[in-house]
Amino acid sequence: MTAIPLLAVSQGDPGGIGIEITAKAWRRRQDDGLDPFFLIGNSQTIITQIQALLPDVPVIDIDTPAAAREVFTRALPVLPLDMALSPAAATVAAIRHGAFLCKKGEASALVTNPIHKKRLYEAGFDHPGHTEYLAALTGRPGKSVMMLACPELRVVPATVHIPISEVPQRLNQPLLRHVIETTYHDLQRCFGLKNPRITVAGLNPHAGEGGTIGREEEEIIRPVIAEFAARGMAITGPFPADSLFHPAARERYDAAICMYHDQALIPIKTIDFDGGVNVTLGLPIIRTSPDHGTAEDIAGKGIANPSSLIAALRLAGEMARTSWAPDHG
C-alpha cells in the first residue's frame, strides 16, 4: 500500500451541507495539508450544488478510486453512483460503497458526511445511524463503539442514542467491558499509544458517593475497572464527571469513558465545537465523520463551516498511517 492515504468521502444527505463542505475542504487541501480524497455520490447533484455555491471548484468524475490521486491536485474527484437512485438511496449507497472500497484496500479510510436519519428511516433504512450500519456492513454487528475526538480530548460514551431514563437499565458489566476493551485496542492500533491511559466517569452525581447516591458505580463500574487494572491496564475511576474535563484532569488520561451521550459530548463540544470528530471504533476499517448534523437551515447558502470535516479528513489520514506502522498492525 502506498505511503499516502487515499480517503473515500460519502456525500451525506444531499439536502444538507455535506457536498458544500467537501468542496470547501478540497479548496483548502494545500493550506490544510490534506491527503487526497474523492467524493462518492450522485454526480449530477454534486456538480449542480458546487456550480451554484462554489463555481471556482472544478469537479471531475473518476472511474476508479486510484484515479483520484492524479485528479485531486486539479479538481475534486467524484466517484459517481447510479443516477437512477433516489436521494435517500444514494445517501445509503455512498456509505455502503465507501465501506466496500475500504474493505478491499482501494481506500484507506471512510469519511462520512452527515445524514438525515428520519428521512432515511422513511425510505426503509433500519439502522440507528452510521455507526451501526457500518458495523453491520463490516461483519461487526453490535460491536462498534463511538468516540468523539479533538486535539485536547477523546471521549467515548458507553450508551449512545437512547433516552436518559433508559441509561441505568442499559448499563451493565458486559457492555462496559466491551467499550473499554475496544477503546484500548484502537488507541493502540489507530492512535499509536502503546499503553493508553483510560479514565472512567461515574453515572451519578459525585460518582455515587460510596453508593449513597446510586449503586451503579459500586455494582457495575468499579468492579469492571478493577478487572482491567488487575490485568495491567492503566485505568482509573470512577470519577465525578464534573471534575473530569478541566485542563489539569485531561493531562492524566488519553480517553475518558462516559456513561451516556451528553456526558461525553458536552465537554468536547464546549472545548472544540468546530474541530470535533466522530470516530467509529471496533471496525476492521477506519471511519471518521464531522461532529455535526446536516445543518439544513443553512444548506444552499454557501456559509457552511468545513472545519469539522477537515478535522475528520486529517484524523482519518493520521489513523491510516498509524495503523500501517509495523508496531500497530
Domain containing 308 — which CATH number? 3.40.718.10
CA-nearest of 130, 122, 68 to 95 is 130
CB 312 within 8 A of CB 32: no
- Beta-bridged to residue 145, according to DSSP, are 281
Question: What is the tens place of the pLDDT at every residue in 7-20?
Answer: 999 999 999 999 99
Whole-number percent of the chain with pLDDT over 90: 81
Q: How far apart are CA 127 and CA 51, in angstroms?
A: 33
Whether 89 has a pLDDT exceeding 50, the answer reads: yes
- Residue 73 shares a structural domain with residue 174: no
How many structural domains are present in the chain? 2
Q: 224, 243, 271: which is the final residue of a domain?
A: 271
More confident residue, 97 or 133: 97
More confident residue, 118 or 310: 310
CA-nearest of 95, 170, 80 to 125 is 95
Instruction: Give the strand order in the sheet containing 287-290.
Output: 59-61, 76-80, 37-41, 7-10, 109-112, 287-290, 277-281, 145-150, 153-157, 255-258, 197-201, 234-239
- Domain span at residue 115 reads 1-147+275-329
Q: What is the mean pLDDT of the segment spanning 67-85?
A: 95
- Residue 172 shares a structural domain with residue 51: no
Whether 2 has a pLDDT exceeding 80, the answer reads: no
Work out the end-to-end distance of the chain between its first and last CA atoms, rounded to an integer number of angstroms.
13
Q: 271, 289, 319: which is the final residue of a domain?
A: 271
Instruction: Report CA torsion sign: 110, 175, 162, 206.
Output: negative
- Residue 123 shares a structural domain with residue 2: yes
Window from 95-104, 146-155, 218-227, 287-296 with minimum mean pLDDT: 287-296
- Residue 283 shares a structural domain with residue 241: no
What grid cell was written down for 176?
Answer: 462496559
Which 8-state DSSP code applies to residue 221?
A: I
- Residue 175 shares a structural domain with residue 227: yes
Q: How far apart are CA 172 and CA 149, in angstroms?
A: 24
Q: How far apart are CA 322 and CA 172, in angstroms?
A: 32
- Residue 173 shares a structural domain with residue 319: no
Q: What is the mean pLDDT of the segment spanning 60-75?
A: 97
What grid cell was written down for 175?
Answer: 457492555
- Beta-bridged to residue 289, according to DSSP, are 278
- Residue 137 shares a structural domain with residue 17: yes
- The pLDDT confidence band at residue 270, using thresholds 50, 70 and 90, is very high
What grid cell was written down for 6?
Answer: 487515499
Whether 326 has a pLDDT exceeding 60, the answer reads: no
User: What local confidence, expressed as pLDDT, does residue 1 receive?
Assistant: 44
CB 298 within 8 A of CB 158: no
- Residue 2 shares a structural domain with residue 69: yes
Q: How far apart are CA 242 and CA 244, in angstroms?
A: 6
Beta strands, E only, 32-152? 37-41, 59-61, 76-80, 109-112, 145-150
- Residue 12 shares a structural domain with residue 106: yes
Mean pLDDT of the chain: 93
Q: 271, 286, 310: which is the final residue of a domain?
A: 271
Q: What is the pTM of this model?
A: 0.92
- Residue 226 shares a structural domain with residue 80: no
- Residue 262 shares a structural domain with residue 279: no
- Residue 135 shares a structural domain with residue 203: no
